[in-house]
Amino acid sequence: MSRRMKTEYGVFAVVLAVLFVLPLTGAASDNAMRIAFNIALYAVFAQMWNLMCGYAGLLSLGQQMFIGVSGYATAVVCTSYGMPFVLGLLVSGVVSALLALFLSVLLLRMRGLYFAIATWIVSEMIKILFTGWKLVNYAGGMTIRVTPYPTLSQQFMLILALAAASFLLVQAMLRSKIGLGLAAMRDDPDAAAGLGVNIFKMKTLCFTVCGFVTGIGGSIAYLNRLSVFPNGAFAIDWTIAIVFAVIIGGTSTATGPIVGAFVYVLLFNFLSRYAGYSNIILGVIAIAVIVVAPKGIMGTLQNRFKFELFSSTRPSLD
């Protein structure tokens, strides 16, 4: 580890520790905790979407399928079978990962645009299946009963741990041979394949990891929400929010998804007082960012000031 990396991860560890201790001090209000929970939640989702779109070149518009399936998996495991939440969490992750693995076989041969639409269609199909499925109470939705029910602080710690883990996971992947293969694939897929990079395997791995982590995040999200309905669980709105966060924060940057999640949740919270207009304003901001600063906040800052946080694409500067 270079000195620069030591400093970066040192700061990361300190910030994480402070955030972890924060709810124990009781200094944060319930409202602040809710905001913090959502920031960490979207940081998880955004991190995974960035892994797919920013590094593996897979633009997914179907993240809601993992979130929705996980919400229902949690409800079935915890409410229908009365199992502890940990089991619901694990089942959610595994089911989502298996779904991603299965879809890899079907969808990964498609080029960018077709893949994007195909993921959306699959989500719509899963929504239709769940709406007609007796086990999950058709369109009537399910409640999520977990005993003992974790406090908001505990939920926050859980999602914070996942956010940190997902960040470190993506970093570890990018620093390994996988990252090298992904970079080669992004620059020239044909040349990369010719030099022995197994593109299909790379993409499958990224998609499956994305399914697993997004699934666990979805499970925690629905632990927090307490009930799950097909229309909400499989709504494209999830993906819209995730895409917004990553674009604002900066695609293909390490810290972009976290910054984006921060900006998205705070902005959403601030705009919620302008009911009806808030989504329109969010949409306009997103388009403005794409046109004016397509690299997002972190991408633009890093370009302007010639630095790169948690660099994994080139040797450290020192």
Partner 1 sequence: MAQAVLQGILLGGVFAVVGIGMSMIFGIVKLANLAHGEFFILGAYLSMLFAGQLDISPLLTLVIVVPLMFVAGYALQGALINRVLGMGDEPPLLITFGLSFILQNVLLLIFSADPQTLKTTYQLKTIVVSDSLIVPVLYLVNFIVGALVILILGLFLRFTYTGQAIRAVSDDNMAASLMGISVKRSYSIAMGIATSTAAVAGVVIGTTFTFYPYTGSEYLLVAFGVVVLGGMGSIPGTLVGGLVFGLARTIGSQVFGTNYQMMIGYIILLAMLMIRPQGLFSK
**Closer residue to partner 1 in complex, CB, 109/225:** 109
**Closer residue to partner 1 in complex, CB, 81/277:** 277
**Closer residue to partner 1 in complex, CB, 190/318:** 190
CA neighbours within 13 Å on the CB side: how many for 164?
A: 17
Q: 48 near 222, Cβ under 8 Å? A: no
Contacts of 49-52 spanning 24+ positions with Cβ under 8 A: 49/210, 49/239, 49/242, 49/243, 49/246, 49/257, 50/170, 50/246, 50/251, 50/252, 50/253, 50/256, 50/257, 51/170, 51/173, 51/206, 51/209, 51/210, 52/206, 52/207, 52/210
Q: How far is the CB of 190 from partner 1 (least distance, A)?
A: 16
Q: How far is the CB of 132 from partner 1 (least distance, A)?
A: 5
Give the length of the chain: 318
Helices 85-107, 199-225: axis angle to 10 degrees equals: 150
Distance CA 128, CA 230 (A): 8
**Closer residue to partner 1 in complex, CB, 118/298:** 118
**Closer residue to partner 1 in complex, CB, 42/156:** 42
Among candidate residues 283, 205, 238, 219, the one with its CA nearest the CA of residue 123 = 238
**Which element (helix H / strand E) includes 303?**
helix 296-305
Q: How far is the CB of 140 from partner 1 (least distance, A)?
A: 13
**Closer residue to partner 1 in complex, CB, 79/279:** 279
Q: How far is the CB of 208 from partner 1 (least distance, A)?
A: 19
Q: How far is the CB of 125 from partner 1 (least distance, A)?
A: 5
Q: 183 near 32, Cβ under 8 Å? A: no
Question: What's 135's DSSP letter?
Answer: G
Q: How far is the CB of 172 from partner 1 (least distance, A)?
A: 25
**Closer residue to partner 1 in complex, CB, 48/247:** 247
Q: How far is the CB of 293 from partner 1 (least distance, A)?
A: 11
Q: Which residues bind partner 1 (CB under 8 A)?
A: 53, 59, 61, 106-107, 109-114, 116-118, 120-122, 124-125, 128, 131-132, 236, 240, 243, 247, 251, 276-277, 279-280, 282-284, 286-287, 290-291, 294
